[in-house]
Structure formats: C-alpha cells, structure tokens
Structure 1
C-alpha cells in the first residue's frame, strides 16, 4: 500500500505549474535565459554544394574539412554571410556590408595591390596606412538618408596615410575609385587627379573630358 506521505511521481503536484515540453526545450536552448554565452560555428561551403549541385567538402573552422552531407546539415537554419573569393587564389575580395573591418586576407590583398597610400605622389607604405572605404561605410552627419553606403570589398578599399585620410574626411577633398586600384582625387577647387598608387603614374585630369577613358 502506497505511503501517503511520499509524493507519487506520476501525479502532478498541484502547487507546481506544469511545464510544457516545448517551453522546457526552448529554455534549455536559450543561452540568454540560461546565462550562458552563445556558441558560434563558422562553416565555409560552396554555394553549389549547399544547393546540392555537387558534393565538394566544406571547411569547419577550427576542425578542418567535412563532407558535404554533414556540412549541409550544419548549415540548415544558420545565419549566412556572403563572402566573395577569387576562384583561382581563394583570396577574400568582398564581405559586402556584413562587417566594417576587412578580414586579414582582404586587407592583405588591397595593400599588396596598391603598395602605397593612394594620394598622388604619396609614398607612405600601404602597411603603415589606414584602409579607407572610398565610399563611406557609415552615414555621416548631414548626409541625405538615401545616400548609398559603401561596401567592404576590394573595389571600395584603399590605403590612406593619416594625413590624406584626414584630408578626405574633413578637408573637402573627394575620392573615387574608378576601377579597382585606380583612384580619382577631386580638390576643393575642382582639380582632378588620377593615380595608380605604387606605380608612380599620376595624371592631371582637370581638363580631360569626363567621358574620356581613364
């Protein structure tokens, strides 16, 4: 005969609210509620593999290659960032607007391409210069709300020494990157200069027709 002083585990305690299994599972998975930091798993996988068009191995950061089946399972429900790489060298060329600071591979690519500060005649080595977004990544005070914002990619990055970075930001000079590695400076007086940093090739384009090839 059951002891009436011992609670029957099969009978819910009326003084304790029942917990829905779904709620319990959510609490177990909610790291914020549990007071634990969330884990981040970084996986690099080809878009063709993700779509099931092929079965190339993926790369699980910190672990190494994993097969396509496991990679697709890990990717299911993840948060994606589009990162463009050079198909020949796998060098990262574009991380879009997902992050402001370029990853190490992209920074190295831009500094190797330009070799020096992109201002005409400036010889400060690129390794000692800031990596500037030619089109500003962040909206500045006074900018119109519909002004396009720049991306973190090889076509919108260039090394600028501290002095020329300040001139571009606060000195009234404008900078365009007409082609990757080909820069146009426009002074407050309206003079235009084209430069390919590191080559010594600078051109006063003030009187050139605007539709002339660079």
Structure 2
C-alpha cells in the first residue's frame, strides 16, 4: 500500500501547539518504522493514517484515498476493508472472552466469524489455552497479544501498531515482531510500527523494504534504517 502526506499538521482541541510532520512518501511494498519518545507525535500520526483524526492542515493519502476528504461513514468503511490497528489502549470488550473478542471484527462487518483463524493466531502468539478467558483474567502482555491477533483477523492490507512490544518481555517481543514480519510477507500487508523500543528497531536494520521516520525533535527528520 502506498502512503504519502504533504503539509500535514494537527492541533488538538484546546491545545496551544501545532504538531507538524515532514512531507513523506512510501511506495507499495515498503514498511515504516516511526521512532521517537513519548509526546513526539507518533500516536497522532498513526491516528491520522487510520482516519481517526482529520488533519488541521495538509493532505494524507493511503493507497490513493485522501482520508481528509472522506466523511465519517466512508472512513469507517475504509478502515473495515483495509485496516488493522493495535492502539496503546487495547479496548478489549470486558464482557467477552478472548475468542469472542477476536470474532468482533467479523460480526461488526456482518460477516461470519472464523474461529479456526482465531485459534491459529492464538497458537502462534502463545495464547492457545486462553481462548475462554475474559480480559481481566489476562496479564498486560497477554492482552497486548490478543489485541494484535484481533487486528490481524480480517487479513488487512495495512496494519498500524502503536508500541506493539509494550509490556512484553524479550521473548514475547520477538514473537510479536516475527508474527508481524511473517504475516506481512505471507499476506502482502503493509506494516507501520510506532515504537521507542530498540528491540524492534534493531532486527530491521539494513532491510531495504523498511523506511524509518524519526520524530525525536520538532523537525521530525527521516533516518536510514
């Protein structure tokens, strides 16, 4: 999926500062790693790419769709068809068990659930025995991996992940990265990861299919992997 934006900025309601992002273009077949500390704009940029926020200024195009020009219903349809999203706040439904949470992306789209895919993803993420647990019965790391599995359920063309290794130990952080890379290769998914975790950045160094955008300062300069 091609991704590009120009003149892009966003101001939160009541906020005094304007977050501005350097013009950027990424070809189909590439992936993007957003780096920078908390408060540098990573989550805001992901929300703009997901169509959850409307730019204050500028234009953002995802696979040729100008998200700022779409109305709310059109954006919802675009997200349902194209996007998997793992936010920092995981938003698992507290009243549903893990397997039912994984069925939600299909049910909300009026499609039949795919329990076999849910079980395969849970197996890959080391959660095979937790399908009947409620979210409050999961550790923070387990809930993080369930949220990732849910984002992958409908085999999206684009996956946005905001700090996907947060609260994970080294072994599970690597498992999550391996799952993301393997799934992207198998299904042609474009990955956009936002993280300050060097455990994710280091394995991607030297890979020609990855771009890195460093938001460490207000200038937000692109860096080499």
Q: TM-score, normalised by structure 1?
A: 0.23
Query: Which structure has more RCO (C-alpha within 8 Å, separation ≥ 6)?
Result: 2
From the two aligned structures, give the one with the greater helix fraction: 2
> Radius of gyration: which is bigger?
1
